[in-house]
Amino acid sequence: MSKTILIVDDSESIREVVSFTLENAGYSVLIGTDGDDALKFLDGRNIDLVITDLHMPNMNGIELIKAIRNMDEYKRVPILFLTTESQQDKKNEAKDAGATGWIIKPFVPSKLLAALNKVIR
């Protein structure tokens, strides 16, 4: 049964690159454009992994991660966030908020899938 992954990013190109890679790898993909938008998907659905950007309008990634961790059914669902090499402090902030791991931008498909492999199977 294919796993469902929620991708949250305000950049359309990133969303497309990530969803293309994941769909080709056999995952089902849901797409949210920002934190608020993503929360709609989390209601009553079975999501196996969330991948989110940190900088987004309305609700940013850190807030989204905190919000997800506050939901009972998503306490243990892995969350990966997208970040750049230079944002070391953000990395700690996101981990403290409850993120499982991260993917460094820019990335190639194999890097993305390798990161995924660490958190879902």
Partner 1 sequence: MDTFQRKFLEEATDLINTLEQSLLSLELDPNNSSIIDEIFRVMHSLKGGGGMFGFEKLSEFTHHLETVYDLVRKHKVAVNRELLDITLTSVDHLRNLLSTEVTPAILATNDILTQRIIKFSIEDHHQNTSILSHLELLDPEQDIPESFVTYNIRFEPHANIMHNGTNPLLLLDELSHLGLTLVNYMEHLPALENLEYQNNYSSWQIVLATNKPRESILDVFIFVEDDAHIVVEEIFPNSIFQFPDLVNKISENLGNNQLLETEKIKLLVAEYVKANAISQSLNSVQEVAEDASVVKQKLSSFSKESVISSIRVSSDKIDQLMNLVSELVTTQASLSLYVDKHNLHGLTQISENIENITRMLRDTAFTISLIPLEHLITRFKRLVRDLSNEFGKDISLITEGAETELDKTLIQSITEPMMHLLRNSIDHGIETVHERIAKGKPAQGKIYIKAFYSGSYVHIQVSDDGRGINPDFIKKRATEKGLIQSDVNLSQKEIYDLLFLPGFSTADVVTDVSGRGVGMDVVKRKIEEIRGSVDLHSDIDVGTTLTLKLPITLSIIDGLLVNLGSEQYIIPLSVVDKIYAATNNEIQNSFNNIITLDGKQFPFYNLHDEFESDGESPKKQEVVVVKFDEQKIGLAVDYVVGEIQAVLKPLGKHFRKQEFFSGATILGNGQIALVLDTSKVISEYTVMQMIE
Question: Would you say 11 or 48 has its CB closer to partner 1?
Answer: 48
What's the distance, Cα to Cα, between the start and end of the chain in Å? 11
Question: CA-CA distance, 63 to 97, in Å (whole number)?
Answer: 8
Q: Quote the least distance from Cβ 57 to partner 1, whole Å.
A: 25
Residues forming beta bridges with residue 14, ordered by sequence position: none
Residue 81 sits in the site that holds partner 1 (CB under 8 A): no
Question: Would you say 76 or 86 has its CB closer to partner 1?
Answer: 76
Residues forming beta bridges with residue 6, ordered by sequence position: 30, 50
Residue 29 sits in the site that holds partner 1 (CB under 8 A): no
Question: CA-CA distance, 26 to 9, in Å (whole number)?
Answer: 20
Question: CA-CA distance, 61 to 94, in Å (whole number)?
Answer: 8
Stretch that binds partner 1, among 3-11, 20-28, 33-41, 53-61 (CB under 8 A): 20-28
Binding site for partner 1 (CB under 8 A): 1-2, 23-26, 69, 75-79, 95, 98-102, 117-121
